Structure 1
Amino acid sequence: MGWVGVAADRGVLVAEEFDVIVVGAGPAGSAAALAARRAGAGVLLLDRADFPRDKACGDGIAAHALDVLAGLGVTDAVAGYPPLPALRLVGPGGGAVARALPRPAYTVPRQVFDARLVAAAVGAGAELRRHAVRRIEVRADRVVLDGELSARAVVGADGAGSVVRRLLGHPPNPDRHLALAIRGYAPARPGPPEQLIVTSAARWPAYAWSFPIGDGRANVGYGEVLRGEPLTRVHLLDRLAALLPGTDPAAVTGLRAHHLPLSTRRPAPGRGRTVLAGDALSLINPFTGEGIFYALLSGALAGTAAATTPDRAAARYAAALRHRLGTHLRHSSTAAWLGRYRRMVDAVVRVAGRDDRVYRTVVELGLGDGRLDARTLAMIGIGLSTPDAAPRH
């Protein structure tokens, strides 16, 4: 826990000291706080907002994310929300695959999901405080935030616009490694509940989604990779309507846009006693835009490293990330590179519709920590010889 005292060092007064300070209380930050508390550290969890608060996101929670939470002792993050047993994926050429997911997914509004994780972190002994960090001073034996908060190690989990990342000297992701999406809530589509992803031939790489929540609403949205030109709200909503017929943008509530820093361009995981996790580390799957699993897993690894080896947290954390996600991140980057070609995506959809093993490999790669394999690549190669369907919008 923190304690109140006054210490002078280089003329700077430090009023409060903690073992670990986590900046950002979203999924990555809450996971970091939980992991650090499980390692016995005193934790201060900072966020600019009060909870519950909204966060622009697709709200999709994959089974892999729940695995990480279970390891942190959180078992009720999706309580009260029905499972989504299936996924329907529409390729740029119009072909589709609809199959049962290997394990069900969930749609939980971030206003609910994040608040539950914060409550779990506070329940585990972390102290939550509203505070916007503006300055970081890294010293030999500690890190000082804004001249008033001190910790043996700091976890920067403050999202796509991370202040910690910027103060460490890392620029934002450039175009082609950054996506922009808009999200809102609309009446759920009729029929059996399923995740729906509709890719776009125009403006590729781009897709729209509709994820039913279970209360009559669905999280709907559209996003595309930035390519050096500004994207307007009108454009994003027009593409949403084109790809999700029957969805009237005027009837969509809670519209918010957000950036997705893709994992194809990541900064260093940290420096010395300071580490980055989740969106702050550009951990967004470039193949699907999924980020909750990455956020929770990287947060847990970051919190453990910060609590157990604060003087070399960055080195310990980087090694843990390489061991746990290194191969997967290389494979997802390869998939994203191949996915630049619409014919390749159409081939994936066709083959996944015929072969459950390919389908499962694609799902694991896009929603969890899966990898490509020789058989899947060979099957996709065969699928490339199949003519495309009529192009979509």
Structure 2
Amino acid sequence: MESFDVVVVGGGPAGAAAALAARRHGASVLVLDRSGFPRDKVCGDGVAPEALDVLAALGVDVDAVTDGYPAVPRLRLTSPSGRTVERTMHRPAVVVPRAVLDGRVLDAALAAGAQFRRHTVRRVTSGPDGVDVDGVLTAGVLVGADGAESVVRRALGIAPNRPDRLAIALRGYAPAGDPGVQVITTTEQRWPAYAWSFPIGDGRANVGYGELVSGGATRAGLLEGLHRLLPGVEPTGLRAHRLPLSTGRPRLPDGRVLLAGDAQSLINPMTGEGIFYAVLSGAFAGAAAAHGADAGRVFRTALQGRLGTHLRHSTVASWVSRWPRVMDAVFAAAHRDQRVFDDVVALGLADGRLTGRTLLGAGRRLGDPGAVSGGQARAGGDL
């Protein structure tokens, strides 16, 4: 039976980051995935700069990863009542199709010495000295980075997210509008729900619409929401995918089996963003694997130290956002203050927090009914 220090199940960004981190600690690493690469994955394709920071720290040439896909400097947000604010982000995002991104990051892991094999994992059994994979492989530590329908998560006996902590999104590609602006449009109908349009840079945009499963989501309803919030957009390649939100994140167990990315329900409940969480949790998992039987505790401690406060704040923000009027107030505050806008972006796309100025600004807007009525504004650096 073959044996590796670390076996990673799933070759997406979380799995590739885990492989990169484990190789930096000198481990022998095998990445398993049921699919070959490059391959598509239903996603908004937006890559926050903080995700690229993590990859750069793992030795990845991020310019090569994003080559051919220009930065998108501006973000337009529309509140449930129709207030629109557009500003330049503190650091621009990049939109890279997952059919490109995943293969490039995995290639970096393979160049660092990891191995890759196509294999559909069906059974994972953890013992005192290692982890058995389908009776054909053993691992000192196994990292489950196998997505929303994680086999590894089920092997740990962890139940899937409840419907109110699970979203579903429909994504396709359509001709882009403004190539320098990412668009997120929220709506009071079937709240909480939103649509997005993220320009790729080749004349197309990644467009989609998502909402909570608990709202009775259907494909027809998702299509209706997409066309209502992005009128005139006729996307091709529409596919749906479930998103296990971080509000349903399980407590990570001790031991030799770790979960990263979507498998750990690391999806931002406000925005559906998951790539930053994926590469960060993957990097921590790969580093923790060096601790063998103590990997689970080390991994949990590292993740808590970096994301614990943020995840508590994003959970609170998700709960508060159930009142559309609060979202209107936050967007109005972001219109008035670039710093509030930056705080909102950091909370939704990286590891930001609910800051005092955001709460104070939103509180002031709630006290001014006219400030949260529908309207439109394009903002520069100062207001």
Give the TM-score range, shorter chain: over 0.9
State whether structure 2 residue 182 is matched by structure 1 residue 182: no
Partners of 1:98 and 1:390 lie apart in 2 by 14
**Sequence identity (%):** 60
Q: How many equivalent pairs are there?
A: 372
CA contact (8 A) 2:32 2:120 kept: yes
Return the match for 1:140 from 120, 128, 131: 128
State whether structure 2 residue 199 is matched by structure 1 residue 215: no
Q: What CA RMSD, in Å, does the superposition of the two structures yield over aligned residues?
A: 1.3
Matches within 5 A, 1:177-326: 177-189=165-177, 191=178, 193-227=180-214, 229=216, 231-248=217-234, 252-306=235-289, 308-326=290-308
Partners of 1:266 and 1:233 lie apart in 2 by 26
TM-score by length of 1: 0.93
Post-superposition Cα deviations, 1:185-204, rounded to whole Å, max 9, x if no partner, equal 00001x35200000011001
Partners of 2:252 and 2:21 lie apart in 1 by 17
The offset of 1:228, in angstroms, is 5.5
**Structure 1 residues without counterparts, runs of 5 or longer:** 1-14
**Structure 2 residues without counterparts, runs of 5 or longer:** 376-383
CA contact (8 A) 2:179 2:203 kept: no
Question: Which residue identity is paired with 1:303?
Answer: G
CA contact (8 A) 1:153 1:313 kept: yes
Of stretches 260-269 and 152-161 in structure 1, the one that deviates more from structure 2 is 260-269
CA contact (8 A) 1:61 1:108 kept: yes
State whether structure 2 residue 101 is matched by structure 1 residue 117: no
Post-superposition Cα deviations, 1:305-354, rounded to whole Å, max 9, x if no partner, equal 01x20111100000001111111111111111111110010001111000
Q: Determine helix, strand or coil for the equivalent of 1:364.
A: helix
Partners of 1:44 and 1:210 lie apart in 2 by 36
- Deviating above 3 A after TM superposition, structure 1's stretches of 4 or more consecutive aligned residues are none
Q: Determine helix, strand or coil for the equivalent of 1:68.
A: helix
The offset of 1:379, in angstroms, is 1.1
Alignment match, 1:127: 115
TM-score by length of 2: 0.95
Partners of 1:141 and 1:320 lie apart in 2 by 23
The offset of 1:375, in angstroms, is 2.3
Q: Determine helix, strand or coil for the equivalent of 2:196.
A: strand
Post-superposition Cα deviations, 1:198-236, rounded to whole Å, max 9, x if no partner, equal 00110011000000001010000000012163x222211
Partners of 1:312 and 1:362 lie apart in 2 by 36
- From the two aligned structures, give the one with the greater helix fraction: 2
Partners of 2:373 and 2:280 lie apart in 1 by 38
CA contact (8 A) 2:190 2:215 kept: no
